[in-house]
């Protein structure tokens, strides 16, 4: 449901549970949902969204904390489903507002959180919760249930209040032979279904994909073939949190007699954590420092690095741009062991093309089964709907097309259309007596992190940046004597990123001089009015002659 024409929500009715997403609906990222009951708040996840090409200069995009900023003391806890950045990455910014909010999650999830917090010089209050445990957090009874995903220790959450039972799946799939043997707790889902689930909040990412997602073990023969064919070095790019995939690469390297090296700060950090906690096993003597790679034969090494999404500063992008000490050539094989996150397609293809230009053989999901998704496909979603039998459904974690496809899957197994709600960030929903109703809308937006600034960049700033990047700018300086109605210096025209030449600057100078003198003759006596005249004249001239719309910066000084 779009927020258009929705009013602000009324006060929460007694005995009702209020649900509002501050991020994560209609997008892949920024996952954060706030539950309210009896004046207390429970926050599920607090993640970031990574910027797209039309958001230049932005480092991260946060959920909008505005609706809860004056209610921080009402927060009972933050509970985390798993350790991916789109679910934990915004926690440091929330804890800057209130540092003692308790955080609950699985062992690996909280280890990643604590490592991230150290970078921000924050000491969080955390408590590890094992599979199957239940906690009373104020008026919320929260049960933590194991689910299978592309990172160990992922959890679904059953949230109980007097208003009803909510099952939040988090990100999940139903791999029946996972690498770590930890399967999705379908028994628990069925038990909840028998108990009665008033609202199912369910992962939508792969709702458009028919059938079931392949098992992680299905990629082993493909990786084996890649290793057999590789003549020189093998460089594998993966998410720095995909412990299972990296374990597979390590096992394959051991089988083929190759040493491994982790490259990239986040990869080194996360794999160190995973190894220390026992989630990653590396045979003795197999791990080497990246600095030692030049001393080893190329056909005896595997580099495991970041950059599978084409991130500009990640290791693989820098290698593709020849901006890294590690270089690739015709004998090298590069494996992108990840799916494409929507919005990253151009960046990833740019990296693939850069590597191919250098002669490397590039293996990716488009030409080989080197990655399987961590999100349930339509067949798995249908299975969950059938065993949970929810009264109401709220598709989450996905773009609009994913959430709509998920809604159609729900309806295909008998969930009435009026019981399926598709909402966007800021839409407020109330659950009471088995009914989910839309109560209104609270304004939420994108909060941009740009360097050390949080929220300083606005949509207007981004528009200016896009104009500068795509169209360039033209600056015009002129000094005038208002009293004598004459130009005393200039006009001086300077262009950047416009592709102008001396002839263009001469033509603009003449046009501006004529316009300014005419304005002075007509009695213009304010510099602001002259600046507006200059902007109109230059804009019209450039548009008519060059079909361009650069940023125009007129500067008029009164002598």
Are 197 and 227 found together in one domain? no
Q: Give dist(CA 381, CA 395) in Å, integer.
A: 11
Max Cα-Cα span within the chain: 89
Are 339 and 380 found together in one domain? no
Are 244 and 292 found together in one domain? yes
- Tell me whether residue 6 is in a domain: no
Are 380 and 470 found together in one domain? no
- DSSP class of 262: E
Q: Give dist(CA 121, CA 468) in Å, integer.
A: 36
Asked which of 363, 395, 427 is the last residue of a domain, the reply is 363
Q: Give dist(CA 482, CA 488) in Å, integer.
A: 10
Q: Which domain holds residue 463?
A: 459-558
Q: Give dist(CA 38, CA 131) in Å, integer.
A: 28
Instruction: Report the CATH number that the domain containing residue 130 is assigned in CATH.
Output: 3.60.15.10
Which of 10-19, 36-45, 250-259, 337-346 is least confident? 337-346
Are 127 and 243 found together in one domain? no
- Tell me whether residue 200 is in a domain: yes
Read off φ and ψ for residue 40, nearest 5 degrees.
-115, 155
* Global confidence as pTM: 0.81
Strands in 292-408 per DSSP E: 301-305, 333-336, 361-363, 393-396
Q: Are 273 and 111 contacting, i.e. CB atoms less than 8 angstroms apart?
A: yes
- Provide the domain count of the chain: 3
- Of residues 277 and 472, which shows the higher confidence score? 277
Asked which of 363, 383, 398 is the last residue of a domain, the reply is 363
Instruction: Report the CATH number that the domain containing residue 239 is assigned in CATH.
Output: 3.40.50.10710
Q: Is 88 a residue whose pLDDT tops 80?
A: yes
Q: Is 455 a residue whose pLDDT tops 60?
A: no
Q: Are 56 and 444 contacting, i.e. CB atoms less than 8 angstroms apart?
A: no
Q: Per-residue pLDDT tens for 189-233?
A: 999 999 999 999 999 999 999 999 988 888 889 899 989 999 888
Question: Of the candidates 138, 319, 297, which has an alpha carbon nearest to the alpha carbon of residue 231?
Answer: 297
Are 33 and 109 found together in one domain? yes
- Tell me whether residue 357 is in a domain: yes
Please report how many Cα atoms fall inside a 13 Å half-sphere around the Cα of residue 442, on the Cβ side. 19
- Tell me whether residue 389 is in a domain: yes
Q: Is 456 a residue whose pLDDT tops 60?
A: no
Q: Give dist(CA 425, CA 412) in Å, integer.
A: 26
Are 228 and 168 found together in one domain? no
Are 299 and 391 found together in one domain? no
Return the ∠ at Cα 403 (arms to 106 and 450), rounded to 5°.
65
Which contacts (CB < 8 Å, 24+ apart) does range 493-502 have?
A: 495/550, 496/472, 497/468, 497/469, 497/471, 497/472, 497/473, 497/550, 498/471, 498/472, 498/473, 498/474, 498/548, 498/550, 499/472, 500/474
Contacts of 39 (CB under 8 A, 6+ apart): 74
Are 313 and 378 found together in one domain? no
Tokens for 421, please give them.
């709600």
Are 33 and 144 found together in one domain? yes
- Tell me whether residue 446 is in a domain: no
Are 323 and 416 found together in one domain? no
Residue with tokens 């909840």: 192
- Tell me whether residue 234 is in a domain: yes
What three-state secondary structure class fits 376?
coil
- Tell me whether residue 336 is in a domain: yes
H helices present in 242-399, as ranges = 243-255, 265-276, 315-320, 345-357, 378-388
Asked which of 363, 382, 401 is the last residue of a domain, the reply is 363
Tokens for 264, please give them.
């990239």
Are 274 and 398 found together in one domain? no
Q: Is 1 a residue whose pLDDT tops 60?
A: no
Q: Give dist(CA 211, CA 223) in Å, integer.
A: 24
Instruction: Report the CATH number that the domain containing residue 546 is assigned in CATH.
Output: 3.10.20.580
Q: Per-residue pLDDT tens for 301-331?
A: 999 988 777 777 788 888 888 888 888 889 9
**CB-neighbour burial class of residue 522 (10 A; exposed 0-12, middle 13-18, buried 19+):** exposed
């Amino acid at each position: 449901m779009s927020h258009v024409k929705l009013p602000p929500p009324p006060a929460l009715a007694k005995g009702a549970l209020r649900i509002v997403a501050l991020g994560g609906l209609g997008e892949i990222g920024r996952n954060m949902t706030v539950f309210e009951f009896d004046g207390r708040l429970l926050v599920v996840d607090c993640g970031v969204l990574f910027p797209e090409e039309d958001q230049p200069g932005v480092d991260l995009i946060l959920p909008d904390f505005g609706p809860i900023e004056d209610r921080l003391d009402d927060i009972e806890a933050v509970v985390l489903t798993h350790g991916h950045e789109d679910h934990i990455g915004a926690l440091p910014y929330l804890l800057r507002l209130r540092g003692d909010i308790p955080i609950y999650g699985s062992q690996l999830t909280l280890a990643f959180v604590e490592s991230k917090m150290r970078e921000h010089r924050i000491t969080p209050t955390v408590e590890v919760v094992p599979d199957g445990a239940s906690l009373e957090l104020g008026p919320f009874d929260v049960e933590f249930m194991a689910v299978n995903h592309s990172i160990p220790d992922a959890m679904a959450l059953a949230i109980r209040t007097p208003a009803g039972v909510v099952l939040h799946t988090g990100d999940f799939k139903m791999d029946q032979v996972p690498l770590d043997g930890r399967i999705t707790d379908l028994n628990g889902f069925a038990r909840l279904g028998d108990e009665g689930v008033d609202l199912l909040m369910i992962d939508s990412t792969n709702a458009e994909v028919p059938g079931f997602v392949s098992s992680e073990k299905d990629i082993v023969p493909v990786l084996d073939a890649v290793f057999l064919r590789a003549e020189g070095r093998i460089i594998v790019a993966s998410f720095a949190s995909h412990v299972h995939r990296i374990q597979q690469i390590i096992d394959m390297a051991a089988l083929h007699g190759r040493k491994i090296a982790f490259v990239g700060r986040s990869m080194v950090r996360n794999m160190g954590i995973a190894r220390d906690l026992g989630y990653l096993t590396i045979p003795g003597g197999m791990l080497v420092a990246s600095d030692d790679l030049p001393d080893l034969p190329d056909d005896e090494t595997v580099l495991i690095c970041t950059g599978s999404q084409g991130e500009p500063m990640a290791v693989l992008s820098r290698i593709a741009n020849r901006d890294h000490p590690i270089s690739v050539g015709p004998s090298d094989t590069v494996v992108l062991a990840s799916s494409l996150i929507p919005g990253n397609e151009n960046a990833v293809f740019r990296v693939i093309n850069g590597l191919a230009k250098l002669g490397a053989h590039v293996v990716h999901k488009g030409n080989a089964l080197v990655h399987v998704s961590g999100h349930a496909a339509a067949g798995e979603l249908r299975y969950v709907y059938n065993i949970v039998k929810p009264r109401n459904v709220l598709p989450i974690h996905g773009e609009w097309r994913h959430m709509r496809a998920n809604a159609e899957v729900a309806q295909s197994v008998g969930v009435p259309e009026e019981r399926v709600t598709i909402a966007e960030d800021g839409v407020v929903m109330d659950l009471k007596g088995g009914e989910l109703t839309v109560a209104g809308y609270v304004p939420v937006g994108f909060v941009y992190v740009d360097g050390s600034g949080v929220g300083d960049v606005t949509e207007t700033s981004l528009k200016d940046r896009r104009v500068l990047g795509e169209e360039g700018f033209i600056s015009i300086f002129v000094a005038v004597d208002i009293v004598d109605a004459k130009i005393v210096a200039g006009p001086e025209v300077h262009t950047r990123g416009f592709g102008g030449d001396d002839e263009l600057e001469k033509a603009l100078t003449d046009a501006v001089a004529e316009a300014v003198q005419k304005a002075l003759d007509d009695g213009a006596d304010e510099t602001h009015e002259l600046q507006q005249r200059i902007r109109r004249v230059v804009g019209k001239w450039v548009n008519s002659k060059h079909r361009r719309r650069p940023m125009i910066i007129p500067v008029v000084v009164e002598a």
